[in-house]
Amino acid sequence: MAKTTSNSSVIDDYLNSLGLAGNDQISREKRREAWKIAHELRRFEIDLLWRRSTYFWGLQIAAFAGFGVMAGTSVSESAGADLPDPLIMPVFLLAISLFGLAGSLAWYWAAKASKIWMYNWEMHIDFLEDEFSGSLYKTVFFRGNGAVFSLTGINEAVTLVTVVIWTFLLLFSEVRLLTYAFTGVMFQAVAFFAFNLLSFILAVLAYEKFVKSRGKAAMERINHGELNNIQGGFFRRVLWK
């Protein structure tokens, strides 16, 4: 069974907004070039996604290794080994945990950004391909119950797992540090609350300043103009077997 949505007015608005409308040879060549560029940029975004993932994997492995070494040293210290100032190791654990958590959050946001741009170029292909390759790209075959695993979704799930792990390690490091730095339980609780509140505020500010604001500005540039008047959407045709 095939599910299709035909909306020629949406396609016409799209072509007019990009200056690609027209039945002459020049307009057709412009649409063909745009169709090719959309495919190239989609492949480019996919390549960037996995390159960035490799980069962040390297950071995470280094951070986990560093945390493991410091944690092992801290255990040796607890066992009575002759080590430097006992406050140094908990501080290192806390610093590595912050670095690991920041890296995993950056990895997650980068994966989300890559997925948005991949979707952008996929939509361009959906609008342009009928004239040159039919509905090839937006026709998807499924077997069985239609359950499909998304590679980008799996990548995002892995990033969220690292975020959760580093959150627990950060809390562990805080408790470890506060145990050494403060003797009273009340002081430890106040310091724990204050540090986490400050960390949360800084994370929100970083998200608003470096992630959300730039993404919003990009979307405003994309949505500006006649494309705001496009109603409806373009849906992939799904063939079930």
Contact 122, 236 (CB under 8 A): no
Domain count for the chain, please give it: 1
Residue 57 belongs to domain spanning: 2-240
Q: Which residue has the higher pLDDT, 200 or 166?
A: 166
Length of the chain equals 241
Check: CB of residue 49 under 8 Å from CB of residue 114.
yes
- Residue 84 φ/ψ, nearest 5 degrees: -65, -165
% of the chain beyond a pLDDT of 70: 62
pLDDT at 159 over 50: yes
Does residue 3 sit in helix, strand or coil? Answer: strand
| pLDDT confidence tier of residue 226, bands split at 50, 70 and 90 | very low
Q: Minimal CA–CA distance to 108: which of 217, 220, 211?
A: 211
Residue 34 has a pLDDT of 92
Q: Is the pTM of this model over 0.75?
A: no
Shortest CA distance to 47 belongs to which of 150, 107, 118?
Answer: 118
Mean predicted confidence (pLDDT) in 104-116: 88
Please report, as a single letter, which amino acid is at residue 2. A
Token output for 163: 């975020």
Q: Which residue has the tokens 């100032």?
A: 85
DSSP 2: E
> Cα separation of 120 and 42, whole Å?
8
pLDDT digits (tens, 9 = 90+) for 191-209: 665 666 666 666 666 666 5
At 119 the pLDDT is 86
Nearest to 127 by CA among 2, 1, 7: 7
